[in-house]
């Protein structure tokens, strides 16, 4: 029994150490944003996303999933992906909107907390069963989109547009001006019921064909050569995937109903 208990403790400890890494990144991001070092804050949030992705995969790999892990992970996620991005955006942009800056930042943190609470409730109800879709934009996705935007805007602010995509960079100042709406839209996407792919299937990131391998290589090269641009577009694509996918399904459903209603089809 002691050996089994020790083994189980090790299985839980392995992913928990990665969760601690996530928490450390969030704390670092919070301190950096407070000091006005927004690039460091955004980098800390993105690093936290890497730790968050790894701890779940390690937990499933070593069969270390537990109620403790779910709760601990959510507490760390709230710090790294809820509080830290809200404070970063407030100090970076939203404070310029006077008394409205605080509630806009708070709404993001609040929606993040509600998103995590709902996720925990579903996780307990399904007894840890694997999901193919999330309900609402996952909080790391929302935080990653804000963090990657801050990194991208820093290129504009420093006046170094070389080695960047001009079409994308020309839009960043406009997005900066729409920052309040940008933050609020992400917040409400998190508490929506729009389905988002979970990407939790085994071997989902392993190329299964030459085309898949080529795509993976091209993606890796883009991240290496244009890191800020590519990371921002990846998070933006994922955030839009839910609403656009829902719209496509709605259109297809309408067309299907119309076809069924027509005789002879």
pLDDT in tens, 58-89: 777 776 677 777 888 999 999 999 999 999 99
Bridge partners, residue 172, by sequence: none
> For residue 78, what is the enclosing H or E element?
none
Q: What is the structure's pLDDT at 218? A: 78
> For residue 76, what is the enclosing H or E element?
helix 67-77
Tens-digit pLDDT profile for residues 108-166? 999 999 999 998 887 766 554 457 788 899 999 999 999 999 998 888 777 665 555 66
- Helix, strand and coil in the chain, % to nearest 5: 80, 0, 20
Q: What is the dihedral of CA 102, 104, 105, 106, to 10 degrees?
A: 80
Checking if the pLDDT of 224 tops 90, the result is: no
Q: What is the structure's pLDDT at 28? A: 97
Tens-digit pLDDT profile for residues 238-256? 999 989 888 888 888 777 7
Pick the closest to residue 91 from 49, 41, 43, 44 (CA basis). 41
Q: What is the dihedral of CA 204, 210, 212, 218, to 10 degrees?
A: 130
Tens-digit pLDDT profile for residues 7-63? 455 566 778 888 999 999 999 999 999 999 999 999 999 999 999 988 878 777 776
Checking if the pLDDT of 209 tops 70, the result is: no
Pick the closest to residue 80 from 111, 109, 55, 110 (CA basis). 109
Q: What is the structure's pLDDT at 187? A: 97
Pick the closest to residue 223 from 235, 211, 212 (CA basis). 235
Checking if the pLDDT of 207 tops 60, the result is: no
Q: Work out the pLDDT band at 184, boundaries 50, 70, 90.
A: very high
Q: What is the structure's pLDDT at 177? A: 87
- Identify the structural domains of the chain with CATH numbers, from first to last: 2-261 (1.20.120.1760)
Which DSSP category does 82 fall into?
I
Pick the closest to residue 45 from 12, 95, 84 (CA basis). 84
Which residues does 95 contact at the CB level (< 8 Å), separation at least 6?
101
Checking DSSP bridges between strand 195-197 and strand 133-135, what pairing results, if any? antiparallel
Which residues does 79 contact at the CB level (< 8 Å), separation at least 6?
23, 26, 27, 30
């Amino acid at each position: 029994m002691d050996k089994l208990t020790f083994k189980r403790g090790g299985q839980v400890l392995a992913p928990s150490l990665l969760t601690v890494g996530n928490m450390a990144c969030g704390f670092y991001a919070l301190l950096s944003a407070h000091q006005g070092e927004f690039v460091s804050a955004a980098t800390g949030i993105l690093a936290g996303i890497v730790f968050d992705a790894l701890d779940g995969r390690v937990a499933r790999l070593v069969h270390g999933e537990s109620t403790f892990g779910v709760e601990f992970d959510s507490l760390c996620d709230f710090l790294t992906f809820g509080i830290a991005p809200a404070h970063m955006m407030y100090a970076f942009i939203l404070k310029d909107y006077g008394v409205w800056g605080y509630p806009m930042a708070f709404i993001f943190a609040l929606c993040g907390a509600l998103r995590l609470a709902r996720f925990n409730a579903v996780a307990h109800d399904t007894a840890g069963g694997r999901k193919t879709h999330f309900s609402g934009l996952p909080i790391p996705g929302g935080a990653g989109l804000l963090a990657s935007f801050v990194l991208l805007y820093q290129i504009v602010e420093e006046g170094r547009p070389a080695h960047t995509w001009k079409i994308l960079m020309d839009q960043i100042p406009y997005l900066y001006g729409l920052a309040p709406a940008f933050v609020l839209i992400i917040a409400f996407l998190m508490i929506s019921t729009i389905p988002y792919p979970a990407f939790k299937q085994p071997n989902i990131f392993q190329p299964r064909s030459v085309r898949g391998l080529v795509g993976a290589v091209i993606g890796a090269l883009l991240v290496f050569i244009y890191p800020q641009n590519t990371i921002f577009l990846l998070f933006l694509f994922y955030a839009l995937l839910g609403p656009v996918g829902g719209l496509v399904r709605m259109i297809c459903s309408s067309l299907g109903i119309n076809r069924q209603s027509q005789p002879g089809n």
